[in-house]
Amino acid sequence: MTLLQPLLRKLPTPSLLLASLLLATACATAPARQPVPIGTGQPREEPVTGVPRDLGDTPGEDIQIGDMEDLGDASRARGDRGLTPPFMQGREIKRAAVLLPFSHPNANVRAEAESMLAGIELALFEYADKDFLIIPKDTAGKTSVAEARTDEAFEDKVDVILGPLFGENVKTVREMAREEDIPVIAFSNDRSAAGGGAYLASISPDEEVRRVMEYVAARGVDTFVFLGPRSAYGRQVEAAMRFEASRLGAVVAASAFYGEGSGAGAEARQIASVLKTELAGRPGRVAVMIPERGVKLLSVAPLLPYNGVDMRQVKLIGTSYWDDSSIWREPTLRGGLYASTDPGNKSAFSDTYRRIYGRAPTDLAALAYDAAALTVRLAADDSLTYGGVTDPDGFFGVNGLFRFRIDGTSERGLAVMQIQPGGPELVEGGVQSFPTGQTGPS
């Protein structure tokens, strides 16, 4: 049984149907608009009952809505016009399938999927209109299940697919959707899943590396060194660093990979030796990338000064992994730089989400909010097409400015943060508009 999901509550069921509407993020022009504010508490009609509803001041209050049997058989009728609940009969509606792993065996993944759909709900409910239908479908994180859910989405006559979360699922779904000319806005970080009609709404390590390297290069850094894990993530960051160094006219003096489950002592000594040579007479011209997090970062970074590196002469840089309060008081990391979304853009979203759901949103919840809001913006303009998704002006959401390239990857207007004992400080905000011209492969 597919259920019509309650709007303001934790999602208990893996197979869901949520009928609601989304406010789109403002299309970014020059100058770009500010993020659409949320949490205004403006009364809206609850989409199923038609009762006016204010988000109000009651955190986590549940709104109970009946299941599909309460809506009658017409709500399941697909036919030529697609899935249309009774309360939407007679409207020219657009439909978006949301493919997420609600019943994944890993509890953290299930919680992430629920948080993403909750982010969508928040945007839907606060800015509801009456012509957009969201149809969540559970992939369980399995390719075969994602394929079956995609077939169902075609029967429902969806105009766009949001999700899936995992790269292999995205690859399967995009091939099926391409035959139907349906855009896929997915949340995987797997760059190989992009393209062929699939657009990745995730913030890739490549974009983070690009942003922080551009920032330090503009301030005199011309040599980069890598010290990181021998993992898919570490290799992706190192490859992105080499690409950006070439683009910036800089050099990569050395790279050292350590095992994920082992210490980094030998690798740190190797990098320290290179740094002592590179830093001779060139203070401030060398940056070290350490794409690590948490306890591991706290054990790796201090190995540089331990092996004789003068940290006053080198710049430490990292990825959004550094956006972690557990590492901010480490003296070695003080002054370290990393790229992230501008915290000011997400503050209203985060506050409202926490007030309504009683917990903090995940990063992917904010991405899901923006991706779903984008689909409604495009639907309003009758632009739910590949060309509409790749609008070169981009869009401005709670994660700041973004646009999709022709190759399916996303370009972001990220901020640069600097670690201080009291927490990270914004040293340069994200751009407010993209350069004029069509987007293309990075």
Q: Hey, what are 53's tokens? A: 């509803």
Residue 435: per-residue pLDDT: 79
Q: Which pLDDT band, with edges at 50, 70 and 90, does 126 fall under?
A: low
Question: Quick one: pLDDT at residue 280?
Answer: 78
Per-residue pLDDT reduced to its tens digit, 242-290: 999 999 999 999 999 999 878 899 999 999 999 998 887 787 899 999 9
The more confidently predicted of residues 373 and 243 is 243
Of the pLDDT bands very low, low, confident and very high (cuts 50, 70, 90), residue 122 is confident
Report which of residues 354 and 23 the model is more confident about: 354
Residue 410: its pLDDT value, please?
A: 94
Q: Which of 4-18, 71-85, 403-417 has the highest mean pLDDT?
A: 403-417
The per-residue pLDDT for 278 is: 84
Q: Give the whole-number percent of the chain exceeding pLDDT 90.
A: 59
Task: Quickly state the pLDDT bin for 439 (edges 50, 70, 90).
Answer: low
- Whether residue 434 contacts residue 394, with contact meaning beta carbons closer than 8 Å, is answered with yes
* Average pLDDT for 128-152: 91
Lowest mean pLDDT among 64-68, 147-151, 337-341: 64-68
Greater confidence, 93 or 54?
93
Q: Is the pLDDT confidence value at 76 over 50? A: no
In the 8-state DSSP scheme, what is residue 394? -
Radius of gyration of the chain from its Cα atoms, rounded to whole angstroms = 23
List, for residues 302-323, the tens digit of each pLDDT value: 999 999 999 999 999 999 999 9
pLDDT digits (tens, 9 = 90+) for 212-228: 999 999 999 999 999 99
Strand order in 223-229's β-sheet? 251-258, 223-229, 286-289, 314-318, 337-340, 415-420, 423-428
Please determine, for residue 78, whether its predicted confidence score (pLDDT) is greater than 60: no
Spatial contact of 194 and 223, defined as CB atoms under 8 Å apart? no
Ranked by mean pLDDT, which of 232-236, 275-279, 376-380 comes out on top? 232-236
- DSSP single-letter state for residue 85: -
Length of the chain as a residue count:
442
- Looking at residue 224, its pLDDT comes to 97
Q: Determine the pLDDT at residue 323.
A: 92
Token digits for 97?
């399938």
pLDDT given for residue 257 in this prediction: 97
For residue 392, count other CB atoms closer than 10 A to its CB.
Answer: 17
Reduce the secondary structure of the chain to three states and give it as a string.
Answer: CCEECCCCCCCCCCCEEECCCCCCCEECCCCCCCCCCCCCCCCEECCCCCCEECCCCCCCCCCCCCCHHHHCHHHHCCCCCCCCCHHHCCCCCEEEEEEECCCCCCHHHHHHHHHHHHHHHHHHHHCCCCCEEEEEEECCCCHHHHHHHHHHHHHCCCCEEECCCCHHHHHHHHHHHHHCCCCEEECCCCHHHCECCEEECCCCHHHHHHHHHHHHHCCCCCEEEEEEECCHHHHHHHHHHHHHHHHHCCEEEEEEEECCCCCCHHHHHHHHHHHHHHHCCCCCCEEEECCCCHHHHHHHCCHHHHCCCCCCCEEEEECHHHCCHHHCCCHHHCCCEEEECCHHHHHHHHHHHHHHHCCCCCHHHHHHHHHHHHHHHHHHCCCCCHHHHCCCCCEEECCEEEEECCCCCEEECCEEEEEECCEEEEEECCCCCCCCCCCCCC
The mean of the pLDDT values for the chain is 81
Q: Which of 75-84, 191-200, 353-362 has the lowest mean pLDDT?
A: 75-84
At residue 75 the predicted structure's pLDDT band, cuts being 50, 70 and 90, is very low
Q: CA-based angle 362:363:367, to the nearest 5?
A: 115
Helices (H), 90-230: 107-126, 143-155, 167-179, 205-217
Please say whether the beta carbons of 357 and 108 come within 8 A. no
Confidence band (pLDDT; 50, 70, 90) for 139?
very high
